[in-house]
A and B are shown apart, each in its own frame.
Chain A
Amino acid sequence: MAKGLTKAFKKALWVYHCNSGSCNGCDIEIVAALCPRYDVERFGIKLVGTPRHADVLLITGPVTRQLEKKVKRVYDQMPDPKVVICVGNCGNTGDVFYESYNLVGPVDNIIPVDVHVIGCPPRPEAIIHAVAKAWTKLETLEGK
């Protein structure tokens, strides 16, 4: 596990997944991380259906114009302390869609991002590693 985690996990992370125009490759790998092969549920991490219950936001996809305001709204609905993980190359830099008339740029321009996961799509192991890093960051945030 990542350095800095205490031996007893104080809380289990609840994760909300938001798709802002991606090709679904990253979304499938996120759901595959929950399945018996990688089984991230044994740590208590589960997917919830509303941002108001969530600690971690997983964003995939380059943000299209139609979804820009909605992504901001989802971010505002999450209670503090919160962590944002941007999964996949599209949200980080734009990847192959670097020139387009309907995209509003990397997710960085819209909401602050804490952990970047690169890959097209990133493997489930990389996503679990990112959630562990987010955990460390949350614990330091809560400690303040």
Chain B
Amino acid sequence: MAKTTSAHLDANGLVKYFKDEFKTKIKSAEVIKRIGGSNKREHVNIWMTIDKSIFKNYIKHLCDYQFPHLAVVSGNDYPKEIELIYHFSLDFGKDRKEISLNTSVFLPKSKPEIETICDYIPGALITEREKQEMLGIKVIGIPDDRRLFLPEDFPEGVYPWRKDEKGMEKLIRNLHEVKK
């Protein structure tokens, strides 16, 4: 592990930490606060969009600050591109001061590839495998390439979460149908 920042940053400080390093490659960053309960205590969400080229360095920069907890990777399917959102959380363990960091990356459909983060965060293996089989992206350097949830005889090239021609329309079964 390279240098670790010893100062503890709050939400705006964290945004500035990334913007200082990557400058214009960070496309947008938004800090949203929500409240709960009678005492109206707030918790903080940061939504950031970054460019695909700095993705691996961004993860390394994040791990240098503090080892995050990766909750899940979710994905959106648009007509011409695929968006992947990595949901991290930082500062767990300190009473009510956790920060949720959500980072989104856009991949063009002509070349839907992204690097793996399993060498920094080994716990990301299962969620990356799921994205490979559900959205049809390719994760470069993933240690384990097999299918996770879909059965072995599921046809290749069909991705359940896609809304375009590679979707699922032919395989749906309606259980309420009565066979005559």
- A104: which of B153, B173, B176 is its contact (CB, 8 Å)? B173
Assuming A65-B151, A66-B151, is B172 touching A100 (CB within 8 A)? yes
**Cα–Cα distance between A109 and B177 once the two chains are bound (Å):** 11
Please state if A105 and B175 are interface contacts (CB–CB under 8 Å).
yes
The dominant DSSP class at the B interface is: loop
Please state if B173 and A105 are interface contacts (CB–CB under 8 Å).
yes
B165 to chain A, nearest CB (A): 16
Q: Does B32 touch A at the CB level, under 8 Å?
A: no
Q: Does A22 touch B at the CB level, under 8 Å?
A: no
- Encoded as 1 (CB less than 8 Å from any A CB) or 0, chain B from 151 to 180 comes to 101000000100000001001111110010
What's the count of A-B pairs with C-beta under 8 Å?
33
Q: Does A97 touch B at the CB level, under 8 Å?
A: yes
Q: How many residues of B contact A (CB 8 A)?
A: 12
Assuming A66-B151, A109-B179, is B174 touching A101 (CB within 8 A)? no
Query: Knowing that A98-B175, A101-B172 are A-B contacts, what are 17 other residue pairs whose CB atoms are under 8 Å apart, sorted by A's residue number?
Result: A65-B151, A65-B153, A93-B176, A94-B175, A94-B176, A97-B175, A98-B176, A99-B175, A100-B173, A101-B160, A101-B168, A102-B150, A103-B173, A104-B173, A105-B175, A106-B175, A109-B179
**CB pairs A–B below 8 angstroms (14 shown):** A62-B175, A65-B153, A93-B175, A97-B175, A99-B173, A99-B175, A101-B172, A101-B173, A102-B150, A103-B173, A104-B173, A105-B175, A106-B175, A109-B179
